[in-house]
Structure 1
Amino acid sequence: MGENIPLRKRENYHWFVVGTVCIGAFMAALDASIINVAMPTMSQGFSVGMDKVEWVSIAYLLTLTSLLTLLGSLSDRLGRKFFYTIGFGIFGLGSGLCGIAGAIPILIAARVLQAIGAAMLQANSVAIITSAVPPTSRGKAIGIQGSAQAIGLSIGPTVGGLMIANFSWRFIFYVNIPVAIAGTVIAAFILPRDKPNPHSSRFDYWGAIFLTPALILLVLIFKDGYKVGWLSPMILLEFLATAMFLVLFVIREKKCQSPMISLSLFKIKAFTSGNISGLLSYSLMFGIIFLMPFYLDWILKLPPFYVGLILTVVSVSMFIMSPISGAIADRIGTRILTSAGMIVASMGAGVLIFLGRRTSVFIDLAGLIMVGVGMGLFTPPNNSSVMGSAPPEHVGVAGGILNMSRSLGMSMGVAIAGTLYNSDFHSFHLIKHTLVRARILAFHLGFEGMAAMGIIAALICIFVYSRTKPNKLSPDQYVSFH
Structure 2
Amino acid sequence: MNATVLATRLLTERPRPRGIAGWPHAHWLAVGTVCLGAFLGQLDASVIALVFPALGRHFDASFAAVEWVALAYLLVLVALLAPIGWLSDLVGRKTMYIGGFAVFGLSSLGAGFAGGLWALVGCRAVQAVGAAMMQANSVALVARGVPEHAMRRALGIQASAQGLGLALGPSLGGLLVEHASWRWVFWVNVPIALFGILAGWFLLPRTRVAGAPAAVPGPRPASSAGRETGYNSGRAESRGTGTRRTGTREAARFDLPGLLLLTGATTSLLLALSTASGLPLPGWAVAALLLASAVLSLALVRQERRAARPILAPGLVNTPGVRSGLVVALIGYLLLFCPLVLGPVLLTGAGVSTAHAGLVITLLPAAFAFAATVGGGLLPRGWSDVTRCRCGALLAAGGLLLFALLPASDAAALPLLIAGYGLGLLLPANNALVMRAIPAQCSAVGGGMVNMARSLGTALGMALSVLGVHLAGAEDGGRTVLFVLAAVAAAAALLTRPARGARS
TM, length-normalised to structure 1: 0.80
User: Which of 302, 319, 330 is the equivalent residue of 1:251?
Assistant: 302
Corresponding residue for 1:118?
A: 131
Corresponding residue for 2:54?
A: 41
Deviations 1:102-121 (A, max 9, x none): 22212111111111111111
The residue type paired with residue 198 of structure 1 is A
Q: Identity over the aligned pairs, expressed in percent?
A: 33
Matched, 1:378 2:426: yes
User: Which of 76, 84, 98 is the equivalent residue of 1:63?
Assistant: 76
The answer on whether the counterparts of 1:283 and 1:412 sit within 8 Å (CA) in structure 2 is yes
The answer on whether the counterparts of 1:346 and 1:451 sit within 8 Å (CA) in structure 2 is no
For 2:359 and 2:271, the matched residues in 1 are separated by: 32
Pair 1:447–1:282, CA change in 2 (3 A)? farther
For 1:167 and 1:69, the matched residues in 2 are separated by: 37
Corresponding residue for 1:156?
A: 169
Q: CA deviation at 1:63?
A: 1.6
Q: CA deviation at 1:453?
A: 3.4
SS at match of 1:169: coil
Matched, 1:445 2:477: yes
Matched, 1:369 2:413: no
Q: CA deviation at 1:289?
A: 0.6
Deviates more, 1:151-160 or 1:335-344: 335-344
For 1:200 and 1:268, the matched residues in 2 are separated by: 20
Alignment of 1:48-447 (within 5 A): 48-128=61-141, 144-188=157-201, 190-193=203-206, 194-195=208-209, 197-198=213-214, 200-201=216-217, 202=250, 203-225=254-276, 233-267=284-318, 270-304=321-355, 306-322=356-372, 323-325=374-376, 328=379, 331-333=382-384, 337-354=388-405, 361-390=409-438, 396-425=444-473, 442-447=474-479
Corresponding residue for 2:228?
A: none
The residue type paired with residue 476 of structure 2 is H
For 1:354 and 1:170, the matched residues in 2 are separated by: 36
The residue type paired with residue 313 of structure 1 is L
Pair 1:34–1:132, CA change in 2 (3 A)? same
Q: CA deviation at 1:324?
A: 4.2
The answer on whether the counterparts of 1:34 and 1:172 sit within 8 Å (CA) in structure 2 is yes
Structure 2, unmatched stretches of 5+, are 1-12, 218-249
For 1:24 and 1:460, the matched residues in 2 are separated by: 28
SS at match of 1:296: helix
The answer on whether the counterparts of 1:18 and 1:141 sit within 8 Å (CA) in structure 2 is yes
Matched, 1:458 2:469: no
Deviations 1:179-235 (A, max 9, x none): 22233344345544533743525343332222221122222334435769xx96323
Deviates more, 1:188-197 or 1:151-160: 188-197
The answer on whether the counterparts of 1:353 and 1:444 sit within 8 Å (CA) in structure 2 is no
The residue type paired with residue 362 of structure 2 is T
The answer on whether the counterparts of 1:335 and 1:461 sit within 8 Å (CA) in structure 2 is no
Q: CA deviation at 1:91?
A: 0.7
SS at match of 1:260: coil
Corresponding residue for 1:438?
A: none
The answer on whether the counterparts of 1:280 and 1:454 sit within 8 Å (CA) in structure 2 is no
User: Which of 14, 23, 38 is the equivalent residue of 2:36?
Assistant: 23
The answer on whether the counterparts of 2:16 and 2:202 sit within 8 Å (CA) in structure 1 is no
For 1:59 and 1:182, the matched residues in 2 are separated by: 26
The answer on whether the counterparts of 2:371 and 2:424 sit within 8 Å (CA) in structure 1 is yes
The answer on whether the counterparts of 2:400 and 2:485 sit within 8 Å (CA) in structure 1 is no
The answer on whether the counterparts of 2:394 and 2:493 sit within 8 Å (CA) in structure 1 is no
The residue type paired with residue 445 of structure 1 is G
SS at match of 1:163: helix
SS at match of 2:359: helix
For 1:4 and 1:353, the matched residues in 2 are separated by: 52
The residue type paired with residue 361 of structure 2 is L
Structure 1, unmatched stretches of 5+, are 426-441, 475-482
Deviations 1:136-180 (A, max 9, x none): 877766555444333323223222233233322211211111222
For 2:130 and 2:283, the matched residues in 1 are separated by: 37
SS at match of 2:182: coil
Q: CA deviation at 1:50?
A: 1.8
Deviates more, 1:115-124 or 1:342-351: 342-351
Pair 1:166–1:373, CA change in 2 (3 A)? same
The answer on whether the counterparts of 1:40 and 1:294 sit within 8 Å (CA) in structure 2 is no
Q: CA deviation at 1:288?
A: 1.4
Pair 1:30–1:325, CA change in 2 (3 A)? same
Deviations 1:405-436 (A, max 9, x none): 221011011001101111323xxxxxxxxxxx
For 2:362 and 2:89, the matched residues in 1 are separated by: 36
Deviations 1:25-65 (A, max 9, x none): 33223222222222222222223232122212222122212
Pair 1:52–1:329, CA change in 2 (3 A)? farther
The answer on whether the counterparts of 2:136 and 2:447 sit within 8 Å (CA) in structure 1 is no
Pair 1:22–1:340, CA change in 2 (3 A)? closer
For 1:177 and 1:290, the matched residues in 2 are separated by: 24
The residue type paired with residue 10 of structure 1 is A
For 1:177 and 1:9, the matched residues in 2 are separated by: 26
Corresponding residue for 2:247?
A: none
The answer on whether the counterparts of 2:64 and 2:277 sit within 8 Å (CA) in structure 1 is no
SS at match of 1:74: helix
Pair 1:278–1:82, CA change in 2 (3 A)? closer
Pair 1:168–1:6, CA change in 2 (3 A)? closer
For 2:33 and 2:322, the matched residues in 1 are separated by: 33
Deviations 1:343-383 (A, max 9, x none): 43333333333465xx5x33121232232123124323433
The answer on whether the counterparts of 1:207 and 1:252 sit within 8 Å (CA) in structure 2 is yes
For 1:270 and 1:192, the matched residues in 2 are separated by: 31
For 2:193 and 2:122, the matched residues in 1 are separated by: 19
